[in-house]
Structure 1
């Protein structure tokens, strides 16, 4: 027999960029949180181990849903997880998708999960489709190396969004699911910046010249695959970088303000705090 759902939120990816921030912000509001990850969280959870789903979902009313990372074939396992969530009595899901996914074909995994959620009448849901994270410049693949930012995006611009703002939107939807039921938010920063713009602002923050260097896309993807990125995910990176390079990157909107009542964090504010990591 399932344990009656409590006002407890399950946060998947609780040690990751957004999940860690979502868990912290929920706890700061006095909301009970169960963080789930492969290691380092309240409970062990692994997308490759469906046996971990039931215990993670037991006694929770809402879920911050983060799909398996570095994969493109996850729609089936996420659907299995959502089946388990329904059986456990979960009432609402906030799903971390990606910018522009509403225009993607139905067979694309992120879009397939969105459509799966929309078809489940027993679960209310909200969808987050954020722009590229500002934290990519301090934590992951566009972090300056040897004073260079190397990524094949040409002169294209992107409305980079702070992961703190993504988390704030997620917390708004999880703490008041009735208000946000059926809503899709596309969190962005307040301005669209080229990578040259970003390099200039990082230079000011760290006190030395950081340069942006465009690079051949195929060579860049090959280097990412050699560094450990799965080959199939390399094609996702190809699409993401092509979108920006072609002038179709995200553009600023009011979704952060609409969902949270607070203006989004500016890139200058982000780099002022993240400067040590960018050095």
Structure 2
């Protein structure tokens, strides 16, 4: 839908949403539009403007006339800090005032050589931009849309008995939309959206089984063998180290723990895993 059709009398402030066909971006764009705000979606295709991290010439058009931006860094890459810095340079030249950045849980503890941490620090150093950072737990929707989706009734990931406070992408989007709608309330803040409970993968499989009405199990496996299988399935080899870090963190008992950030920002309780499972049950039947 074009901006002119969505807003017969366009507001003066437009928010750019990167990754607008992805899990968080699509929901952020929808929630901002539901608030009556002007949204410009950006992606490689099927969006208001074409945006491609591999083509820096697409940056300026996407940012023209924009006051706020939802920043989703390139996915399945580990070397993106430089190109994101170029994007932020362009954002400053375009007069953007606020950026909400999607990062990852615990990223504040990562060395600055890690690309997402480098992006966080770069953003925080820019005095012409206000910013908010989101560091969510693992997405519940990974079980329904991506790499945690059961195959032949089995969830296979090397996380042992570690627990994670899986968070609904709808809650992440709600927090992001709030920071973009009212940036003055969230300047310099970092939020770590989580679900209301930490679950092991075995417990998650049990809840999916109840929702789907069939048996879904969890199987731990050798981490290196799993990473090799992921690479053979199409994940870039250099991303294997990220997968190793993510799964080791949970397996070692350092997974996300529930907090009240979703409640604090949105004034409503985060979605429970059982409710996500019930709503999405058709995926696993």
**With structure 2 as the length reference, what TM-score do the two structures score?**
0.96
Q: Is the partner of 1:168 in helix, strand or coil?
A: helix
Give the equivalent residue in structure 1 for 2:213: 207
Counting only pairs closer than 5 Å after superposition, residues 1-279 of structure 1 correspond to structure 2 as 6-279=12-285
**How far apart, in 1, do the equivalents of 2:155 and 2:284 lie?**
10
Q: Is the partner of 2:77 in helix, strand or coil?
A: coil
Offset at residue 278 of structure 1 (A): 2.5
Offset at residue 6 of structure 1 (A): 3.8
**With structure 1 as the length reference, what TM-score do the two structures score?**
0.98
**How far apart, in 1, do the equivalents of 2:159 and 2:45 lie?**
34
Give the equivalent residue in structure 1 for 2:5: none
Q: Which runs of 5+ in 2 are unaligned?
A: 1-10
**How far apart, in 2, do the equivalents of 1:185 and 1:262 lie?**
15
Deviations 1:58-108 (A, max 9, x none): 011000000000000000000000000000000000000000000000111
**How far apart, in 1, do the equivalents of 2:282 and 2:91 lie?**
41
Deviations 1:9-54 (A, max 9, x none): 0000000000000000000000000000001111100000000000
* Contact kept in structure 2, 1:10 and 1:35, CA below 8 Å: yes
Q: Is the partner of 1:141 in helix, strand or coil?
A: coil
* Contact kept in structure 2, 1:137 and 1:278, CA below 8 Å: no
Q: Is the partner of 1:277 in helix, strand or coil?
A: helix
| 1:78–1:6 distance in 2 versus 1, CA, 3 Å | farther
Deviations 1:124-152 (A, max 9, x none): 00000000000000000010010000000
**How far apart, in 2, do the equivalents of 1:123 and 1:232 lie?**
32
**How far apart, in 2, do the equivalents of 1:112 and 1:6 lie?**
32
Deviations 1:243-264 (A, max 9, x none): 0000000000000011111110
For the aligned residue pairs, the C-alpha RMSD in angstroms reads: 0.8
Offset at residue 276 of structure 1 (A): 1.2
Offset at residue 234 of structure 1 (A): 1.1
**How far apart, in 2, do the equivalents of 1:237 and 1:278 lie?**
24
List 4+ stretches of structure 1 deviating above 3 A. Answer: none
* Contact kept in structure 2, 1:105 and 1:111, CA below 8 Å: yes
Q: Which runs of 5+ in 1 are unaligned?
A: none
